[in-house]
Amino acid sequence: MTKSDRDRVFVFRRILNEELYDYTDEQLLTILNAAVLPNSLSKTAFKYSLLSNLIFNKTETNKSIKKISYLEKVMSKIEKDLLKFGILYGFDSFNSGYQYSRFIKTSLDTEKINIGKKKISSLFFERIFVFIYNIVKKGEKNERFTRI
């Protein structure tokens, strides 16, 4: 199982609140691959969804690709790390102080348990937290994303 597959299973278990504890990771990965969630982290699922949209609606697909690539260029490394943290571990509440302490204490690598210290000021965290929170929550509910 690759690292992206392990991350997908980790996120799937977190979203379902550990309700599928009696299934193995391989069984959950089979369920995920069969379901092909629109907000999955798999590159192949993303590629196939873009391919099907490219066939039927080429202009909208080009706009989506440009928005995603522009967002990736504009975001700093710490903003990308916060987005990854939100996808992997989720946000319990909208309290930015509590989420800041969780973000500082928690490692972004799902295989290692070590505490990862990240250098970010609390003011900068509060500024970007609302945007990242909205992206993650709307992605979990499979709603329309915020305007970029």
pLDDT, residue 38, reads: 46
Q: What is the count of structural domains for the chain?
A: 3
Say if residue 24 is in the same domain as residue 13.
yes
In sign, the C-alpha dihedral spanning 20, 107, 75, 93 is: positive
pLDDT, residue 145, reads: 58
Say if residue 28 is in the same domain as residue 85.
no
Say if residue 70 is in the same domain as residue 82.
no
Say if residue 6 is in the same domain as residue 24.
yes
Say if residue 69 is in the same domain as residue 82.
no
Say if residue 5 is in the same domain as residue 63.
no
Cβ neighbourhood burial of 107 (10 Å; 0-12, 13-18, 19+): middle
pLDDT, residue 35, reads: 64
Rg (CA), the chain: 16
pLDDT, residue 39, reads: 46
pLDDT, residue 37, reads: 46
Say if residue 59 is in the same domain as residue 89.
no
Kindly report the backbone phi and psi dihedral angles of residue 102, in degrees, each rounded to the nearest multiple of 5, phi listed first. -65, -40
Say if residue 88 is in the same domain as residue 137.
yes
Say if residue 29 is in the same domain as residue 54.
no
Say if residue 92 is in the same domain as residue 148.
yes
Exposure string for 32-67, b = 16+ CB within 10 A, e = fewer: beeeeeebbbbeebeeeeeeeeeeeeeeebeeeeee
Domain extent at residue 35: 1-41
Cα 139 to the center of its chain, rounded Å: 8
pLDDT, residue 45, reads: 59
Look up the pTM and report it.
0.65
Say if residue 82 is in the same domain as residue 102.
yes
Cα 48 to the center of its chain, rounded Å: 18
From first to last of its 148 residues, the chain has per-residue pLDDT tens of 777 777 777 777 777 776 767 778 787 777 766 665 444 455 665 666 666 667 777 787 788 778 888 888 888 888 888 888 888 888 888 888 888 888 888 777 766 666 556 678 888 888 889 888 888 887 776 666 555 5
